[in-house]
């Protein structure tokens, strides 16, 4: 599976002209400050990957049209990590709200949310993978979003050398009870030249476990899909669950890495193709496993689309419990299929299968979002439903997805981001269209469009403490407020 099948010369040219400083130069005057307290500590806001911030109360349908740029912060290169936010953090002698973002040169930044000024930066590892154009420039560093352990004031991050670190939130220094040189998530089977962590790090506070995943660079073999469980207290690798067989493949490509069932800690995984010839039962599959990853509990390979050459999952299951229904999860496949599963009956196959997009595009790699009985999907190609943001209702008695509304992103919006939901508004980055859009979560009414950026915006936007953050291939972290 190639992560991105489309790279344009125009994009490369525009990014080549971007600056690479990391000092916050170009910051705009700040005209508003965070007024709420709602951390965003992991990809999609929680380990279920719902994309929902239930604590945001400042920006809503009545005032989102007033969003305007507050500041920008310049990164050293392109970024694919959704920004994370921690509020009320003692730092540099004061209490601050910090925004964290990584880039593909292996740099991790902490930025003051009020001013856009750098608080600290940490240079971690990167790998220059020639012959693979999944990332502009061929440099692979911090691709998956980190995960934050707020209670212990640390974050967990994986770099381009497949090393996991635990860092202090206020300083970026290594946590004292972890190896300062990091912990390899590869072990003896795999190398940083073949195996890359595309997905977000996942932290489960209930079990004090950190999870990471691997796939490859443009399907360059040999590589071995895996999920790794690491002890959050000391960095010990507790278990590695290989989703690939002896011949490799079955990479875990989803932006969300793994998702966690809050009822019992069960881990849900979606994989890409295995080798040889997709005969490995764990390829193109939905997998569940216990919290310690000691074994594979259930594997299901949903039916394929006739004539489709690519049945990879490039997504992560999003776990939710609709009103009056059992716990379920939704997951996208690259051929445009949207699957709905009963989380307790994975072996029975999908409860519902919807050809939302089509098999020609192979670019359905987002994660669905869920809040208040509504599921949202960024649809990259016309299928049963139009290209754009889709909304479905779900609840008793049918406990199946019922189409509600759609809104287009506009021409060129390939590889649009996963949606983010906060206070009655659903946000999405337009991928190649290089804008952030906001819609009324219930009606789909368009509410706001950001100024255009100078490069793809693929990572999901973040809404926290009355501000919106977006980062992308324009080497820039953007902050908006009302």
Dist. CA 213–CA 104, nearest whole Å: 17
Residue 320 burial class via C-beta count within 10 angstroms: exposed 0-12, middle 13-18, buried 19 and up: buried
Identify the bridge partners of residue 206 per DSSP, sorted by sequence position: none
Distances 160 to 92, 113, 141, 278, 391 between C-alpha atoms, Å: 29, 26, 4, 27, 35
Whose tokens are 């994009």? That residue is: 11
Residue 104 burial class via C-beta count within 10 angstroms: exposed 0-12, middle 13-18, buried 19 and up: buried
Cβ contacts of 233 within 8 Å, gap of 6 or more: 177, 208
Q: For the residues of 223-256, what is the DSSP string, one character each? A: -B-EEEEEETTT--EEEEEE-S-TT-B-----TT
The class level of CATH for 9-481 reads mainly beta
Which pairs count as long-range contacts for 297-301, CB under 8 Å and 24+ apart, including other chains?
297/266, 298/346, 298/347, 299/347, 300/341, 300/346, 300/347, 300/348, 300/349, 300/350
User: Can you give the length of the chain in residues?
Assistant: 482
Strands (E), 308-440: 318-320, 328-332, 337-342, 352-355, 369-371, 374-379, 388-393, 402-407, 420-422, 425-429, 436-440
Tokens of 163: 């090393």
Choose among 131, 112, 90: nearest CA to 7.
131
Number of neighbouring beta carbons within 10 Å of residue 124 = 21
Identify the bridge partners of residue 101 per DSSP, sorted by sequence position: 109
Per-residue pLDDT tens listing for the chain (482 residues):
777 654 433 333 333 333 333 333 333 333 333 334 689 999 999 999 999 999 999 999 999 999 999 999 999 999 999 999 999 998 778 889 999 999 999 999 999 999 999 999 999 999 999 889 888 889 999 999 999 999 999 999 999 999 999 999 999 999 999 999 999 999 888 899 999 999 999 999 999 999 999 999 998 888 999 999 999 999 999 999 999 877 889 999 999 999 999 999 999 999 998 886 656 778 899 999 999 999 999 999 998 765 556 789 999 999 999 999 999 999 999 989 999 999 999 999 999 999 999 877 667 889 999 999 999 999 988 899 999 999 999 999 999 999 999 999 987 777 889 999 999 999 999 999 999 999 999 999 999 999 999 999 999 999 999 999 999 999 999 999 99
Predicted pLDDT at 9 = 34
The answer to whether 270 and 252 are in contact (CB under 8 A) is: yes
Dist. CA 50–CA 64, nearest whole Å: 21
Predicted pLDDT at 34 = 35
Number of neighbouring beta carbons within 10 Å of residue 190 = 24
Predicted pLDDT at 94 = 84
Element (H, E) at 479: strand 476-481
> What is the 8-class DSSP label of residue 150?
G
The answer to whether 115 and 27 are in contact (CB under 8 A) is: yes
The answer to whether 193 and 249 are in contact (CB under 8 A) is: no
């Amino acid at each position: 599976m190639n992560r991105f099948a489309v790279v344009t010369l125009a994009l490369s040219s525009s990014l080549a002209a971007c600056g690479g400083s990391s000092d916050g130069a170009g910051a705009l005057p700040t005209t508003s400050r965070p007024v709420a307290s709602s951390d965003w500590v992991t990809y999609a806001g929680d380990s279920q990957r719902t994309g929902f911030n239930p604590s945001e109360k400042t920006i809503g349908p009545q005032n989102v049209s007033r969003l305007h740029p507050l500041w920008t912060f310049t990164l050293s290169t392109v970024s694919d990590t959704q920004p994370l936010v921690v509020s009320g953090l003692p730092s540099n002698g004061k209490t601050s709200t910090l925004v964290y973002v990584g880039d593909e040169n292996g740099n991790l930044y902490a930025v003051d949310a009020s001013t856009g000024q750098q608080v600290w930066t940490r240079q971690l590892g990167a790998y220059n993978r020639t012959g693979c154009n999944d990332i502009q420039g061929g440099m692979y560093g911090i691709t998956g979003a980190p995960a934050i352990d707020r209670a212990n004031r640390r974050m967990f991050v994986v770099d381009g050398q497949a090393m996991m670190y635990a860092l202090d939130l206020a300083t970026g220094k290594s946590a004292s009870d972890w190896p300062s040189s990091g912990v390899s998530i590869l072990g003896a089977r795999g190398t940083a030249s073949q195996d890359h962590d595309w997905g977000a790090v996942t932290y489960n506070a209930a079990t004090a476990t950190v999870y990471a995943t691997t796939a490859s660079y443009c399907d360059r073999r040999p590589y071995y899909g895996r999920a790794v469980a690491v002890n959050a207290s000391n960095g010990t690798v507790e278990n590695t669950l290989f989703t690939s067989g002896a011949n490799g493949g079955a990479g875990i490509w989803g932006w969300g890495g793994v998702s966690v069932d809050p009822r019992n800690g069960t881990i849900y995984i979606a994989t890409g193709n295995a080798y040889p010839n997709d005969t490995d039962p764990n390829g193109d599959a939905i997998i569940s496993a216990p919290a310690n990853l000691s074994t594979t509990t259930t594997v299901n390979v949903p039916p394929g689309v006739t004539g489709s050459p690519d049945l990879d999952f490039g997504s992560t299951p999003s776990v939710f419990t609709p009103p009056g229904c059992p716990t379920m999860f939704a997951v996208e496949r690259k051929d445009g299929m949207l699957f709905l599963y009963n989380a307790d009956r994975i072996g029975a196959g999908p409860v519902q299968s919807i050809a939302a997009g089509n098999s020609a595009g192979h670019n359905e790699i987002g994660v669905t979002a869920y809040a208040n009985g509504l599921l949202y999907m960024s649809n990259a190609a016309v299928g049963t439903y139009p290209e754009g943001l889709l909304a479905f209702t779900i609840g008793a008695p049918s406990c199946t997805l019922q189409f509600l509304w759609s809104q287009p992103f506009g021409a060129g919006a390939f590889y649009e981001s996963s949606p983010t939901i906060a206070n009655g508004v659903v946000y999405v980055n337009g991928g190649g269209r290089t804008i952030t859009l906001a819609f009324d979560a219930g009606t789909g009414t368009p509410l706001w469009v950001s100024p255009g950026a100078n490069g793809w915006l693929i990572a999901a936007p973040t809404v926290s403490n009355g501000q919106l953050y977006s980062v992308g291939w324009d080497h820039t972290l953007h902050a908006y407020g009302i």
